[in-house]
Structure 1
Amino acid sequence: MKTLHDTPIKVHDIFKALPDQQRHIRVVLTNGVAGVGKTFSVQKFSLDWAEDLENQDVSVLVLLSFRELNLIKDEQYSLLTLLHVFHPTLQKVTAEQLAVCKLLFIFDGLDESRLSLDFNNSEVVSDVTQKSSVDVLLTNLIKGNLLPSALVWITSRPAAASQIPPTCVDRVTEVRGFTDAQKDEYFRRRFRDEELSSRIISHIKTSRSLHIMCHIPVFCWITATVLEHMLTTEQRGELPKTLTDMI
């Protein structure tokens, strides 16, 4: 894909057009390496919506993981039934209500998908009560044949993102992890003991390997857990300077 814009964007603004954009943002594809925070971003977005803090124009938010969808990939569902099965709180929602309310579907973890997403030859489904396979429902939802007013957010690791044709995506975002300043902030917030956090930050900065890896949040968590244990117990020895040393 050609990069048209490379602009920082807050997670709760991903469906909002930039000042110089006129087009409607309906489908967003977010990619990022393992452990960088894609699922956390989804959870933060969902929590802020549920607590009436952000994106209150959305009436219903439906979060589905591809890991869960894999379990029913050989079964037949209508979109309405699928919602009822995965979100029992929506049992009373009717097809007529789906047509008029603003929905947001979040599909997390495309890289874990075992579905056959065929955007060229799949049957057209435009009725939320029409039964079909899960992969056909998804392709029609993404293409806009099914609930064209619904917003769709897909997360994926980079290698799997190409499963979604560029013509079906209105915006591509990337979770890039922590900046150097955010690494320091993470450790200072993680530990109330200022001396402990300072020692850990200092050690990480002396190790090029650790410092580079800690741009991925999950590595910050691993590093914090291991170094805290070593610095607060009787365990002796040189502090690890690589992920291999920690293991």
Structure 2
Amino acid sequence: MDQEQLVQRLQTIYTELYITEGGASEVNQEHEVRLMESASRRAAAPEKTITCEDICKARPHSPEPIRAVLTKGVAGVGKTVLTQKFSLDWAEGRANQELQLLFPFTFRELNVLRDTQFSLVELLHHFFSPSKALCSFQQLQVLFIFDGLDECRLPLDFGRTRVLSDPTESVSVDVLLVNLIRGACFPPLSSG
């Protein structure tokens, strides 16, 4: 299947997801069936829905820019397709054009690099060869998408991993990912 057919297929299969703002900040490890059972017994709290295009936009009454977004839901609900649609809309100039660079990763690909050391620049060059012309990302609005957290086999230890602020320093992939997720390597996204 060529690139044009893939784009056409994504446009055909994508259905707008019911995306809500907020929710628990921790990842729920409960079995999804039990989670749905308990959710059906609780009184529904008012939810604010947002669109795929607005998922990274700062909220109107929040002084802080968005630093991280976590999508969660039961398997097969469409989280991966959502990230692909977000990336496609950006690449085709339909949404989120305040971003200069977008780097989508899957944990399935990152797991293979478990025992490898990379600097941020080297990791980007490894996966995205067109980025080889870039050596500094500091003045750019950059978004990293990490898809498939449930498949992660890397030891992401947010409590003990040291802060890394030099994107040219080579470290293990798990240290690099923790720092990217923390937002230590880049300034926050400005709302556009």
> What TM-score, normalized to structure 2?
0.73
Q: CA 1:5 to 1:18, structure 2 compared with 1: closer, same or farther past 3 Å?
A: farther
Please name the residue that 1:11 is paired with: 52
Dislocated runs of 4+, deviation >2 Å: 17-23, 148-151
Deviation string 1:136-183 (CA, Å, 9 cap, x unpaired) is 0011112222123369xxxxxxxxxxxxxxxxxxxxxxxxxxxxxxxx
Contact kept in structure 1, 2:55 and 2:69, CA below 8 Å:
yes
Question: Which of the two has higher C-alpha Rg?
Answer: 1
How far residue 22 of structure 1 moved from its aligned partner, in angstroms, is: 3.0
Report the residue type matching 1:55 in the other structure: N
Contact kept in structure 2, 1:105 and 1:150, CA below 8 Å:
no
Number of residue pairs the alignment of both structures matches: 149
Please give the alpha-carbon distance, in whole angstroms, between the structure 1 residues aligned to 2:117 and 2:78.
Answer: 32
Q: CA 1:149 to 1:22, structure 2 compared with 1: closer, same or farther past 3 Å?
A: closer
Please name the residue that 2:74 is paired with: 33
How far residue 5 of structure 1 moved from its aligned partner, in angstroms, is: 7.2
> What TM-score, normalized to structure 1?
0.57
1:130 and 2:169 matched: yes
Please give the alpha-carbon distance, in whole angstroms, between the structure 2 residues aligned to 1:78 and 1:39.
Answer: 26
1:105 and 2:144 matched: yes
Gaps of 5+ in 2: 1-23, 26-44
Please give the alpha-carbon distance, in whole angstroms, between the structure 2 residues aligned to 1:24 and 1:13.
Answer: 13
Q: CA 1:8 to 1:147, structure 2 compared with 1: closer, same or farther past 3 Å?
A: same
CA RMSD of aligned residues (A): 2.0
Q: Which range moves more in the overlay, 43-52 or 17-26? A: 17-26
Please name the residue that 1:171 is paired with: none
Q: 1:51 is matched with which residue: 92, 108, 111?
A: 92
Please give the alpha-carbon distance, in whole angstroms, between the structure 1 residues aligned to 2:129 and 2:189.
Answer: 20
How far residue 94 of structure 1 moved from its aligned partner, in angstroms, is: 0.9
Contact kept in structure 2, 1:78 and 1:131, CA below 8 Å:
yes
Please name the residue that 1:24 is paired with: 65
SS of residue paired to 2:70:
strand
Q: CA 1:59 to 1:35, structure 2 compared with 1: closer, same or farther past 3 Å?
A: same
Contact kept in structure 2, 1:67 and 1:109, CA below 8 Å:
yes
Please name the residue that 2:154 is paired with: 115
Report the residue type matching 2:177 in the other structure: L
SS of residue paired to 2:69:
strand
SS of residue paired to 1:116:
coil
Report the residue type matching 1:122 in the other structure: T
Deviation string 1:209-232 (CA, Å, 9 cap, x unpaired) is xxxxxxxxxxxxxxxxxxxxxxxx
Higher normalized helix content (fraction of residues): 1
Please name the residue that 1:144 is paired with: 183
Contact kept in structure 1, 2:65 and 2:189, CA below 8 Å:
no
Gaps of 5+ in 1: 152-247
Contact kept in structure 1, 2:154 and 2:174, CA below 8 Å:
yes
